[in-house]
Amino acid sequence: MADNNTQAEQNGNGYKEDRNIGVAVFILLIALTIGEFFIGYIATDWNWPLCGIAIFKAALIIYYFMHVTKLIGSSEEETS
């Protein structure tokens, strides 16, 4: 298990950075969801803030998790 991680760190550039980005985005998503829950709880007519949060969360997932930039030829490496 530890060997695998070490191997991955040696093989891939930015393995740790990639994992850290995942953790940061995940924490942000959870925080925003908790915020949504309380907004929905205290105010039933705050639709626009809820829409804004949903769009921001979706953008985070699409950009960081779905790697949409690969589609338009980014700097992300791809081994052939």
Partner 1 sequence: MTTQIETHSSYKFRSESNRLGLWLFIISDAFVFAGLLVSRFYLFQGERPELNQILGFAVTLVLLTSSFFMYRADTDIRHGNVKGFTRNILVTIILGIIFLVGVVGLEWPTAPFSAGENAMSSVFFTMTGMHALHVLTGVIFLFIVYRNGKRGLYSQERHFPVEAAAIYWHFVDVVWVFFYPALYLMGVAV
Site residues (vs partner 1, CB under 8 A): 1, 4-5, 7-9, 11-12, 15, 18-19, 22-23, 25-26, 29-30, 33, 36-37, 39-41, 44-45, 47, 50-51, 53-54, 57-58, 61-62, 64-68, 70-71, 78-80
Q: Decide whether 11 or 75 has the Cβ nearer to partner 1.
A: 11
Closest distance between partner 1 and the C-beta of residue 75, in Å?
14
* Distance of alpha carbon 7 from alpha carbon 1, whole angstroms: 10
* Distance of alpha carbon 1 from alpha carbon 66, whole angstroms: 26
